[in-house]
Amino acid sequence: MGCPSSGLMRRFFSCFSARSSGVAGDDTASDSDGGADIISGLPDDVLSSIVSLLPVKEAARTAVLSSRWRRLWASNPLVLDDMELILSNPSDVGAVAATVSDAMRAHPGPFRSVSLTCYFRDADEHVLRRWVRVLAAKGAQELVLNNIPWAELDLLPGALLECRSLQRLRISDWRFPDTSGAPAVPAALPRLRELVLGSSIIQEQDLERVLASSPVLRTLVFVLSAGVPAQLRLSNRSLGCVVLWHSVAEELAVVAAPLLERIIIHQTSASPCACRWDGSRSMRIKIGSASSVLQALGFLNPTCHELQIGETVIKVGKKVAADAVVPSVKILALSVQFGVRDKARMVSSFLQCFPNIETLHVRSIPDRGANSKDGNSEFWSEIDSVECVKGSINMVVIHGFRWENCEIEFLKSILEGAKVLQKICILQDPNISVSEGDVNGTLSLLASLNKGVELLVILPGQGYGIWKYEVASDLSRNDPFDCQN
């Protein structure tokens, strides 16, 4: 949130009488001099709410009004976002850091929410270390630490991992501290429920230690992380969701995560170099089978991902063994180049692994090849015999639809084989234009294949929002791939 205008702050402080705003020690205000103290007559709980909504600099200023205001500011959990300070004084990093230090020192805690943007030289390391010590000592609950990518200082202090009050931690553009020499602490982060690592470097052993030290962790998110760590080994008894957002690794393996409900992988480019960890090898995704509680998985991409269930690697054209299926998955998302035969054929193989899918999301990836618009109907015909298509899928959502023959043939096969399908939602690619006549003709053809299915076309701007990692990782949402407004 941006910094409120100086006019707004002037109006706020003008609500106090001259006497009450000029004498710091007064507990009561007098209007005998003709001034009207509007604010101080309000109950403490209302005033506390007012203080909590003010930017940190102005909230701290209320402490000079009276001892009552000092008590209110100190008793209200601190909400600190230095972006307000940076926007009001962008050329003086030192002054911003000093104001942050003063506020953190003056407030007794707890700190409910702290968001800091750091731009330190190596010589300023002591300032960052002091901040982390104060955050740990005063019970910081939610912490966002953003680093300027070109800053000299990019190593997080190890003391951050001793902040036992943390419930949510988000860091960006940092190197995670080396924990190899630190003593093992079984629950060093006993309250941490969400960890978001953005453009940050963390080694495999350090990630494993963090997971082992976070007994109530529910959400783990990687944003813009390219191949570090190369191996994501998920071992945590409470973890419910892992997200790789524009991030890649050599391998993601579910080792011991009995409560893991969702694996979300989001990449937007069809280029192998963009979605493979080193440009030459596919990212392997290893999950268990019958004992899994996994409910949502995707977007799986045949170009980039190799799926292994138990000891079986899923391959094109091979019948899936009984011990290589995951019955618990209800929502599956796939990214497919429909015009590329070898890649599109993996759709059937993937679907065979998840016999109880109820919602299928398919993202259509553009292909610029000469045959990209061909129907390829001869191999889509095998889709309609897949178990989940016949008996469990009740909704299909196709993202980025361009009304090409290859996409239409896929939908035709789904419609012809589906027995319980209720709805197909078509999200049109915002970069194309199709005549109303062509759209209506295609819809009439599709509707004739299965008259009990609702066909819904959503054009760009018609209530379907931007898919964000905050949406995908929200365990309170029924479908992590659904971003309807």
**Whole-angstrom Cα distance, residue 160 to residue 164?**
9
Q: Where are the domains of the chain?
A: 6-75, 256-470
CA atoms within 13 A on the CB side of 86: 15
pLDDT of residue 55: 62
pLDDT of residue 90: 79
**Whole-angstrom Cα distance, residue 95 to residue 326?**
56
CA distances from 284 to 241, 248, 308, 347 (A): 18, 10, 7, 17
Give the residue from 250, 322, 314, 321 showing the smallest Cα distance to 281. 250
Question: Structure pTM?
Answer: 0.85
pLDDT of residue 288: 86
Give the residue from 176, 164, 110, 117 showing the smallest Cα distance to 144. 117
Mean pLDDT for each consecutive 10-residue tract of the chain (485 residues)? 44 42 41 53 69 62 59 76 83 88 89 91 91 95 93 90 94 89 78 96 93 96 86 96 94 95 82 45 84 91 92 88 93 91 85 96 80 57 86 97 93 94 96 93 96 93 80 95 78
User: DSSP characters for 167-208?
Assistant: SEEEEES-BPPP-TTSPP-TTSSTT--EEEEES-B--HHHHH
Under DSSP, is residue 398 helix (H, G, I), strand (E, B) or coil?
strand
- Residue pair 401/366 in contact by the 8 Å Cβ criterion: no
Phi/psi at 277 (nearest 5 deg)? -65, -30
Phi/psi at 226 (nearest 5 deg)? -110, 90
**Whole-angstrom Cα distance, residue 424 to residue 460?**
17
Please state, as a whole number, how many other Cβ atoms lie within 10 Å of the Cβ of residue 354.
25
Q: Which helix (H) or strand (E) holds 213?
A: none
**Whole-angstrom Cα distance, residue 443 to residue 378?**
21
**Whole-angstrom Cα distance, residue 76 to residue 85?**
20
**Whole-angstrom Cα distance, residue 272 to residue 304?**
6
